[in-house]
Amino acid sequence: MVQNSPLILCIDDEPVGLKVRKILLEREGYRVLTAADGPSSLPLFEQEPVDIVVLDYSMPGMHGGEVAGHMRRIKPRVPILLLSAYVGLPSEVTSLVDLYMTKGEGAPVLLRKLENLLLRQPVGAS
């Protein structure tokens, strides 16, 4: 893993999915921070030089739309990719994120979408 490779913050309350995503992203050369819920992700997001966020929608306590809203106030330029098992999330949620995809679209689609978001945003620009 290269020190200047993009830093991704992955947030998901499902431990297995979070671990699999971390392994996948690290194998692709990304540095990865993880958080098991929205409240614990916000201090990481604020304190670390996060380049992009992969955020689950359905989490107890604080759903992905609420987390994205807080993140937009902290660092509005950091891209957020929202993952959900649900299709057709409300526009007030999807308008807070850069991209939205369903978990069923799979790893190749996730990697391609992350790469496209990072091409739009220079690494370290947060």
**Residue in 47, 52, 15 with CA at minimum distance from that of residue 32:** 52
pLDDT for residue 32 = 98
pLDDT for residue 120 = 80
d(CA 56, CA 37): 9
Please, what are the averages of pLDDT over each run of 10 residues along the chain (126 residues)?
83 95 96 97 97 95 94 96 87 91 91 91 51
CATH class, range 7-119: alpha beta
Which sequence spans correspond to the domains of the chain? Answer: 7-119
pTM of the shown model: 0.91
pLDDT for residue 89 = 83
Residues forming a β-bridge with 99: 81
